Amino acid sequence: MIYKHKTQRVAVLVDVQNLYYSAKNLYDARINFRELLKTAIAGRQIVRANAYVIRTDIFKQEQDFFDALNKSGFDIKEKDLQVFAGGQKKGDWDVGIAMDMIRQAQKSDAIVLMSGDGDYIPVVNYVQQTFGCTVEVIAFGRSCSKNLVEEADEFLDIEKDYEKYLFKKRYPTKIDQTKIEPNKPAVL
């Protein structure tokens, strides 16, 4: 565990798609970004909290989600989903997040990267060596690059305290057959 002091300046950068899909695939749940931000800041001075999102065709649902992220304390950075001629789709913020890590490292003592993507390893190493920043990674242990975990000064595995960082779905997706009693309707 690294030393954290209230005078440290911290920048938080969130790869929203990375965390969103990990939560969905591993737990069929949604992330509590407000609680994650509170943990990331850890009582320190926040320089910046950016959430990087991809805008698709589902505008209304996305806008509600983006508004909730903003109300949780994040500045939203948006990109449109790219759709190529063959129907292939691409939407990622890897280069944008890497550039912002470098920019924010010049103004910060610590960078908190919320992503499990191993593509960030070179920039993590760069900001550590060039600017002397500590880099803390917050992600799901099972879907996080093991090399990214090793490169980080500190790693917080969301799965170790998933009840704190995840919202359960309001309605189950499957009926539990063991709870259905004869002659009574199944309750979802």
Residue 114 burial (CB < 10 Å; 0-12/13-18/19+)? buried
Residue 142 placed within a domain: yes
Residue 149 placed within a domain: yes
How many domains is the chain built from? 1
Q: Which domain holds residue 24?
A: 9-179
Residue 188 placed within a domain: no
1-22 pLDDT per residue, tens: 788 999 999 999 999 999 999 9
Residue 186 placed within a domain: no
- Indicate which CATH number applies to the domain containing 65: 3.40.50.1010
144-169 pLDDT per residue, tens: 999 999 999 999 999 999 999 998 76
Residue 71 placed within a domain: yes
Residue 34 placed within a domain: yes
Per-residue HEC secondary structure of 95-148 comes to HHHHHHHHHHHCCCCEEEEECCCHHHHHHHHHHHHHHCCEEEEEECHHHCCHHH
pTM of the model: 0.83
Residue 43 has pLDDT above 60, yes or no: yes
104-122 pLDDT per residue, tens: 999 999 999 999 999 999 9
Residue 109 placed within a domain: yes
